Structure 1
Amino acid sequence: MSAEVYDLSLHSLGDGLERNLLLLALAALLLVLFGNMLRAMPALPRTLAGGVLAGGTAAASLLFPIWEDGLQVLDLKIVPLILVGPIFGPPAAAVAGAIAIASRALLFGVTAHCLIAIGGATVSGALVAWRLGWRFDPWRSPTRRFASGHAFILAALALAVAGGAYWGHYRQIASLSEHALATYVFLALTTPLATLLFGMLYIFEEQQRRTRMTLAATQARLSTIGDNLPGVLYQRAVGPNGELAFKYVSSRARDVLGVPAEELVAHPGRLLELVHPEDRPILLAAIAKAAEGGTEPLDNEYRIIRPDGQVRWLRVRSQLTHRDRLTQDKEMVAEGIAFDITAQKEAEQAALEARQRHEWLFTHDMLTGLLNRHALLQRIDAHLASPSPHAALLLIDLSQSALVNEFFGAEAGDDRLREAAQRLVAIAPADAAVARTGGDSFAVYLAGLPDEDVAHALRIAESIAERMATPLVRDGQGMPMAVRIGISYGPEQGTDGPRLFRAASIALESARDGAGYMVAAFTPAMESERAEQRLYDDALRTAIAAGELTLVYQPVVTTTERSVVGFEALVRWTHPTLGEVPPGEFVARAEATGLWAALDRFVLTRACTEARHWAGEPWLSVNLSAAWFEIGDVVSAVWQVLETTGFPAGRLQVEITERILIERYDAAIGVINRLHDLGVAVSIDDFGTFYSSLGYLHRLPIDKIKLDRSFALDVDRNARTQAVVESVLSLCHRLDIEVVAEGVETEPQYAWLAIHGCPLVQGFLTGRPGPAPGQRDSLSG
C-alpha cells in the first residue's frame, strides 16, 4: 500500500471514527442534561424517550461510517443499541432497534448482515437488562439491580473494536491476520481505560441520583414519622451565650403548639412566649445547660399556652449530636422530640384527685364536709396518748330531725344538716375538731384544755346551744335548729376515743330530758338513769304506736244554766309496771324525744272517732303541741283526721299556748287563718301565764281564750286578780271572744265568775275528766 493511499485511508477511518465518537458524546451529554427530567417522567414516556434517543444516535451513526479502501469497516450504531437496554429497559431497546432498522432501510437498504448486526446488538442489550433485573412492564417505573460497570464494559468493547481498526491502519498493516492481532492487542490495552473514562461521567451521575433518591426517601420517611408522632421532631442549635435556633421543626408543631413550624424556625423566641410563665425557668435552665455542651440527654416537662388559649403539657427530650464548628459561634446542635403529654397529665391528675377524693371520703362526711366519726376517733386517740391529754368532747344532737324530714322532705333535712355544720364550724374555736358522727349527731373535740377546766368547755357548749337555736328559714317556713349537748372530759372520763364517746353519749341522753336546748356534763350517776330513761322512752313509744293510751273528757259548762256545751280531750297512760303515769310527765317526755306528733295524731284521731256520735253534738277541744308551729303542717294533720273520722269541723276546737302567739306570731296567724278556712275554731290555752299585753288580743283571729287556773284559784277574794279578770272579760266581750275559766273548784269561784259575765267554766266543780261513755250518759241525762 502506497503512502498516499494509506494516508487517505487513515484520514477516512479517522474522520468516521471522530464523527461517531462525537455522536456518542452528544448522546451522553443529552442524557446528563435531561436526566432529571427523564427521571420525573412516568414509566412509559421515559421508556419511549430513551428508545428514541438511542435509536436516533444509532441512525445518525449510519451517516458517518468508518471506511477503509472504499469499504465500510464498521459503524458505532451498535454502541447505543447495546447500552439502551441496561439503561432504559428492554422496551426501550426494542424501540431503538426498530428506529435503527428503519433508518438503514431508508438510507442504504436492508441486508442480512445489517439485520444481524442491529438485531444482535438490540437483543444483547435487552438480555443484559433482563439479566440485571429489569421488568417488562412499561406502565410503572422499572426496578432493577443495575451495576453501571457492566454496561460500560460493553461500551468500552465497542469503542475498542473501532479503535482497533484505526490502530491497524495507523500501523500500515496489510495482512488481515496481522491487522486482527493488532486490533485485539489494542483492545486489551484500551478496554480498562475506555471503561473508566466512558463510565466515569455516568457513574458520577448515578451516584448523585441515588444519593438524591436516598435523601428524598429518608426525608419522606422522617416527614411521615414526624406527622404521625404525638409530638414535634426538631433540630435545635444553642450558641455559647444561650442563643436558641431551630434548624428543623416537624409539621406537627401546628397541631401541638398551635403555631406553624416555619414560624418557630424563623422566630425561635416564639417558643419562650408560648411557655407558661410559671414554667419558663425550666426552659431557660434547659437552654443554659445545652449551651454548656454536655453530652447527657435533657428531659424536661413544662406547659405551653397555645394561641387559642388551650394549655398543653409537653415532655421535651433532646440529645447533643454534634458541635457545628462551621459556624462562627460553634453552636451545640441537638436532635429532640417534644411529646404532647396533656392526656397523660390529665389522667394522672384525675387519678390523683380520685385517690385524694377516696382518702377524703374515708375521713370526711360527704354531705357536710366535716370529719367523720372514724377520723375523729383517730384524732382523739392520738391526743389522749400525748403528754398533755386534757380535753373535752361535746356530742351535739340536732333535735327533731325525723320530723323535719317527714314534714319538709329529705332535701330540706340535708340543707338543715349542712347549715348546722356551717354554724358549728363558725362557732367552735379555730383549733377544735368538728365532726359529723352520724345522722343528726355532731361532735366538737376541744383539745389542749387547761387541767380540769370544766367551765371553759361548758361556756363553749352553751354558746353553741344558744347560737344554734335560731331556726333555719326555708321557703318561708322555719325549721328548728335547737340542739342538746352532752359533754365528757378526757382522760378522766375516757382514756381513748370510744370511752370518751360513751361518756358523752350518756350525758347527751340526760340533756334530751330537758325542754328546749340543754347542756349536760357526764356524771357517773347518769349511767343508771340513762338505762331507766331508755326503758321509759321505749314504753311510751310502744304505747302510742299500739294505741294503749286512753282519753278522758272534761266538760265545759255555761255559767248561766250549768249546761254542758263542750269537752276537752285529755290523754292518760296506765303502764303495767309504772302504773298511772302523770300526763305532764309523759307529755313532756314526748316533746323531748320527738314523739309529740305521733301523740297528737293519736289523741286527735281517737277523740274525733269517739265524739262523732255523741248526743247533743257538743264541741270538742284538743290540745296541740307547740312544736307544730316550729315544724310540720298542723293544718294538714287536722284535715286528714277530719277526713278519716268524718267528724264535723265546726265542732272541733284546737287549743294552742299563748307562748306560740308571742314567739311565732306570723306563723301562728297563718295557721289560725287556715284552720278557720277548714271551719275549725282556735282557742288560747292557759292564757295569762306568759307575759304579754292585752292589747295584742284585737289582732288575733281567735275564737276563745281559756284563763289559766291560777286566776280562778283566788278570784273570789283577791282584788288584784279580780281586776285582771274583769279587764280580760270586758275586752273579750267587746272583741266577741268567748272566755273559759279553768280550774273552777268552789261555788264562790263559780258565783263570782257568773256574776261578772264569764260565760263558760271548766273544773272539778262542774265535772271531773271521765271516759267517753260516761260523758255520753251525762249528755243524754
Structure 2
Amino acid sequence: MQRTSFENQLTFDADFEAILNAIPQPIIVKDEHFRFLFLNDAACMLVGRARCDLIGHTDYDILPTAEADRYRDMDIGVLSTGEEVSVEEPIAVPGGEVRRLVTRKSRAILTRGSSSEKVIVAIALDVTECRTAEAALQASVEHHRSLTELHPQVPWTADPSGEVLEIGPRWEKTGYAPKEALGAGWAKAMHPDDLGEVQREWAKSLATGEPLDVEFRLAAAEGGYSWYRSRAATRRAEDGSILRWYGTVEDIDDRRKMFEALKESEARFRAIADDAPVMIWVTGENGADDYHSRLWLETTGQTAEQAAGKGWLNAVHPDDRNAVERVFYQAFDLREPVRMEYRLKRAGGGSAWVIDIGQPRFASDGTFLGFVGIALDITERRNAEQERLLAQKQIHHMARHDALTGLPNRQFLREEFERLSDHIAPSTRLAILCLDLDGFKAINDAYGRATGDLLLRHVTERLRNFLKQSDILCRLSGDEFVVLRVGINSNAEARLLAQQLIDVIEAPYELAGTHVDLQVVVGLAAASKSDQSLDELIKTADIALERAKTGGGGTIVQYEPKMDADLRARQRMKVSLRHALAKGELEVRYQPLANLRTGQITTFEALARWPHPERGQVSPAEFIAVAEETGLIGPLGEWILRQACTEAVKWPPYVSVAVNLSPLQFRNQRLASTVRNSLEDTGLDASRLQLEITESVLLEECDSNLQTLKEIRQLGVIVAIDDFGTGYSSLSYLRTFPFDKIKVDRSFIADLPKSKESLAIVRAVAAIGRSLGIITTVEGVERQDQLDTIKAEGFDEAQGYLFGGPLPASQAMALLKSRSEISAAER
C-alpha cells in the first residue's frame, strides 16, 4: 500500500531525528517563548537531564538566574533581528569537567500550512577537541539525503527526438500554460543562464539514450525563479529502439537553498576550525565505505575510488591495520559505537595519529542503515601529551630537588617522610640532623661563586658516599643540609652519627688547585615517630642548630625542651589573636594584580594584617598559622571574605577581589553556603570573587573538598590554585579539578631572569596554562627584568611590589580612580 505524504513526512522527521541523535554535537531548538522544542542526545548529555524533563521548559528551570538571563538576552536578539550569534565560553558538563564550546544561535521559520512560527536553533560545538566534526557530519548526511531523495512534481513525456508530447498541469507554477511547454516550448520558462547547459545535457541523452538528470531554474508565476530538477529515462521496444521518454520535474528550491545555506555555514565553521581538521566517512548496510570527505583523501592521498569499500584500510599503518579491521567490523556486526586510535599513512610520507569515532545509523523502523563516523588528526595532541608528561616530570623533579647538587629539598623530605610513616612502627626512633657549613660564606666570598658551588658538590658527594642507602639527605638552603635516619637505638647513636658527619665534611678539600678547610656545626633532634611530625622535628633540630652555631665549628647540640621558649611565646600569641579578632583589631589590605597585556588593574588580593598594639605588625605567616592551630581560621576567614566582598562592591565592575582559603576552612561543610551568603549579603557578583587555594586542599579528604569546590564554582566564583609548583603534584590537580587560574609561587620568580632552572619552570607553567586555557598569574614581581621575562613567556597577570604593595581600602580605591583618570586623559 502506498504511503501518504503525511506518513512520508513522519518517516523523514524520524530519520532526521535519528541522524541528529547520532551527531555528538549538542543541538537545541526553542520556540518563540524560549521553551525547549527539541534537544538531541548530545544536548541532553550536556545539560545532564533527560529530553522528557526538558521539552517545554526554559533556561530558568535548569540554570542559575544570571546565566539564564544572559541566554535569554541572546535569544531575544536572535529572534527579533534574525542575525546569527556565535559565542565561545567554558561550560561545566556533568561530572565537573569544563569544556570550551562555541554556541551558534540562529533564527529559523517553520511553516505549517498557512501558519508559520519562528524558532531559535542553537548548535554547541566542542572546540577543545574536534570543533568541526559534528557539523561536517550533519552536512555530509544532509548532502547525501538531498542527492538521493526524489519527490516528483510535474510529469512529462517526449518522443524519441526530444519533442515534449505532454506535461502535467502543475507546470502552471512557472506562469506558463502546460500547452506552451509542448515541443520545445518549455525553454521559455527556463532561466537564460541555465538554458544552454540543459539543452546540451538533453541533446547528450537523446544521442546516447542515457538517463537525464539536470538541475536548473524555472520562472515562478509570482515572479523570480525557483530551482528544479528534471530526471528522465526511456521506454524501449524489444529491438532496443526508443519508444518514448518519461520524466519528472521536481521542485528542489527549498532543498537547494538549504543546501547552499548549509554549505555557507560549513564554510564559516571550517574557517573557525582550521586547526581541527576532521575526516568524515559513511558506510552502507553491508559495511563497505561509500563516502570519504576531502580531508581524508588529502591526508591519505587516496582517491575516492581507492578509499571505497574496504580500500580505506590500505591507508591504515600496517602495524595497526589488523587491529583496526577487527575492532571496526566487530562493532559493525554488533551494531555498536566504535572508538579507535590508530595511525594513517600520510600522502607525503610518515604517519598521522587519528581518533576514529563511528556510530550506527538506523531507520525509524529499526532497519540498520550503516555507520557514520569522524576521524580526527590527533598527532599534535599525542605529541603534546608526551611533552606535557616530560614537562610534568621535569617540573616535579625541579620543584623537589636542588639544581646545584641534585639533592632533594624540604618538600621531597616531607613527602618521603609521609611515605615512610606508612611502613614503620610508631615506636621507631628517628633522628633529624641539621648541618650548617661554618665558614662557607667566607670561602664563597674569597674564591668566588664557582668555587663555592664546587665545594657544595664535593660536600654532597662525601655525604652520599658515607650515608646509608636508607638515609635521606637534603639541601635546605645555601649552606644547610639535613639528614634523616630511621631506626636509631639511642641518643648516643644519633650523636655518633653527627660526629661522623663532621669528620667526613671537615677533611681538607682540593678545589681546582685551591686548598680549602671547612667546618660544620650540627643541630640534632631525636624522637619516636609518634611523638612529633616531620616539621616539628626539623623545627627542633633548627633550634638546636642555632644553639650549635654559637659554639663554632665541630659543635653538636641535641635539642632539649628548655630551648623551646618560643613555643610559650606562641601560646601567648594565640590568646592575643583571639582577643584581636573579637575586638575587631585586624585589618584587610588590598594588593593589586595587573593585566600584562593592558596594564590595567583587574584584581586586588585581600590580605589580612594584624597591627599588634605592642609588637607592631605581626607577620601573616605567623598569625595565620596560629589561627589554624586554634580553630580561629574559620571565623577569621569568614570575616576576611565578607570584608573583601563589601569593599569590592565599591570598585568598578571590571575589578575583582581575590581571597585566600585555608585548607582547614574546608572542614566546615557549610563553606559553600558561607560564600553564597557573603555574596548575597554584600551584593557582589559571583564572577568578581576569586577564591585561592593551595593544593593541600586536594591532598586531605580529597573527595569531600572536591565536592565543596564544585559547589563554590557552581555559584559562578573563580577558583585559582595558589603557590603553584611548590606542592605535591601540582600538574595532576589540573586534571582533578578545572581551575580557572594558576598562580605561580614567588620562589620561582625571585632569581629570574638569571636562573635557567627557574626560567624552565615558569616557561613550562605558561605553556601548560595556554594549552589548558587557564589564566596564568605570577606572584612576587619586584623588578623590571622579572616583569620583562614573564611577559615574554606569555603570562596573563602579575602581582608584586613592582605594581604596588598591600594597601588600605581607601588607598586601593584611590589607586583605581587615579588609573581611571590617567586612562581617560590618554583617550
Answer with 1 or 2: which has the greater Rg: 1
Higher helix content, 1 or 2: 1
Structure that is richer in strand per residue: 2
In the superposition, the TM-score normalised over structure 2's length comes to 0.33
- Output the TM-score relative to the length of structure 1: 0.35
